[in-house]
Amino acid sequence: MIVLQAGKDLYGRLLKIYTDREAAQISDMVMEHITGFTKTQRLINKELLFTKLQEQQLQIYTEQLMRHKPVQYVLQEAWFAGMKMYVDEHVLIPRPETEELIAAIISELPNKKYTILDVGTGSGCIAIAIKKKLPAANVYALDINLKALDIAKKNAAENSVDIHFFKTDILHFSAEKTLHEFDVIVSNPPYIKKNEADKMLPNVLLYEPHTALFVPDNDPLLFYRAIADFSLKHLKVNMGKLYFEINETMGKQIAVLLKEKGFSNIIIQKDLQKKDRIVSAVLNKMDIK
């Protein structure tokens, strides 16, 4: 099998379950991963024969993709903020809107020796991207899942950044005295209500970790409340900032929650799709309740 035909065959198979654009993007990612060639390089080498190993890889990848497995899990890699991250079913696939969260944080911080905490780090993408952009910062990251933490540590090492990782459950955090105060606390917590699951695509619902996706229908602000309470004890007063990635439907509710907790300068920002996606706030000592 030659490179050109292999790409065409994969694209044709993917059209059965994906749109034309999605099929083209996925087939391009797979072919580049297998051959090591960019799209332009593959056109130049279109008559190049696949090796037996490459043919076997393509067959395995195609079978997994046809079961709606996300291409990032199939290839065990995802690109985020210009960096390659290892991902598997133990962590969420980094999203473009989370890159917007990073950009919002970086735009407000000069490169000083800030102390920053990422709550629910998953693949480590937020903590790693922040450390890359702010190398003078001391960056910490926590998660309840040991397997996720192993992946985050692997990604930090692969991208040559030093992050302080630790395991804890933010919903039942009790070791207040073991942590100092942070200049910034950031989180992209679970925020999809379980009753929204039927609206989700199979590649997300069947493969991405539900503990990192869903919150109870009767308490969709569960993690925002817990992280806000944590921040009252561990965020620097009158200067520390809290950043959330949010469910597009929850912006006003989260703003009210933060105001009631004693935060001020609460800002809701939209993403590139014009959906409410980021909430930021400052902890104000005089307003704490």
Calculate the CA 80 to chain-centre distance: 8
Boundary (domain end) residue, out of 18, 37, 67: 67
Asked whether residue 134 is domain-assigned, the answer is yes
For residues 119 and 149, give the distance between their C-alpha atoms in angstroms, rounded to a whole number. Answer: 12
**Same domain flag for 27 and 92:** no
5-30 as b/e, with b when 16 or more CB fall inside 10 Å?
A: ebbeebbebbeeebeeeebbebbbbb
The pLDDT, as a whole number, for residue 176 is: 52
Asked whether residue 74 is domain-assigned, the answer is no
* Cβ-based burial of 110 (10 A; exposed 0-12, middle 13-18, buried ≥19): exposed
Written as six digits, the tokens of 112 are: 């000083």
- For 96-149, what is each residue's pLDDT tens digit? 999 999 999 999 988 789 999 999 999 999 999 999 999 999 999 999 999 999
- For 158-186, what is each residue's pLDDT tens digit? 999 999 999 999 998 775 556 778 999 99
Average pLDDT over every residue of 7-11: 96
Asked whether residue 90 is domain-assigned, the answer is yes
**Same domain flag for 10 and 127:** no
pTM of the model: 0.92
Asked whether residue 73 is domain-assigned, the answer is no
Own/partner contacts of 60-67, CB < 8 Å, gap of 24 or more, are 61/30, 61/34, 62/10, 62/13, 65/13, 65/14, 65/26, 65/30, 66/13, 66/14, 66/16, 66/17
β-strands 78-80, 83-85 pairing: antiparallel
Asked whether residue 75 is domain-assigned, the answer is no
Do 94 and 43 touch, CB atoms closer than 8 A? Answer: no
The pLDDT, as a whole number, for residue 288 is: 41
**Same domain flag for 188 and 48:** no
CATH number of residue 137's parent domain: 3.40.50.150
Asked whether residue 23 is domain-assigned, the answer is yes
Q: Which residues contact 214 (CB under 8 A, 6 or more apart)?
A: 190, 192, 193, 194, 197
- For 246-277, what is each residue's pLDDT tens digit? 999 999 999 999 999 999 999 999 999 999 99
Above pLDDT 70, what percent of the chain?
97
Query: What single DSSP character describes residue 182?
Result: B
Asked whether residue 224 is domain-assigned, the answer is yes
Asked whether residue 72 is domain-assigned, the answer is no
**Same domain flag for 273 and 154:** yes
* Residue 239 lies in domain: 80-287
**Same domain flag for 174 and 272:** yes
**Same domain flag for 150 and 231:** yes
Strand extents, DSSP E, the chain: 78-80, 83-85, 115-119, 138-143, 164-167, 184-187, 192-193, 214-215, 241-245, 263-270, 276-283
Do 133 and 102 touch, CB atoms closer than 8 A? Answer: yes
Boundary (domain end) residue, out of 13, 43, 67: 67
- For 219-236, what is each residue's pLDDT tens digit? 899 999 999 999 999 999
**Same domain flag for 90 and 59:** no
**Same domain flag for 148 and 223:** yes
**Same domain flag for 24 and 46:** yes
For residues 223 and 240, give the distance between their C-alpha atoms in angstroms, rounded to a whole number. Answer: 19
Calculate the CA 89 to chain-centre distance: 13
Number of domains in the chain: 2
The pLDDT, as a whole number, for residue 287 is: 44
Do 118 and 140 touch, CB atoms closer than 8 A? Answer: yes
